[in-house]
Amino acid sequence: MNLYDNQPLTVAELRRLQALENRYRNAAREVFTNRVEYYHRFTGGHYTSITIRDQKTRWGSCSSRGTLSFNYRLIYGPAGPLDYVVVHELCHLTHMNHSKDFWNMVEHIMPDYRIYKQWLREHGQELTLTTHLKKQGIPIRLG
Q: What is the pLDDT of residues 33-67, one digit of tens each?
A: 999 999 999 999 999 999 999 988 899 999 999 99
Residue 25 has pLDDT above 90, yes or no: yes
Q: What is the DSSP string of 91-131?
A: HTTT-SS--HHHHHHHHHH-TTHHHHHHHHHHHGGG-SHHH
Interatomic CA distance for residues 101 and 142, integer angstroms: 52
- Of 31, 35, 53, 17, the C-alpha closest to 132 is 17
What number of CA atoms fall less than 13 Å from residue 30's CA on the CB side? 5
pTM of the model: 0.91
Residue 134: pLDDT band (50, 70, 90) is very high
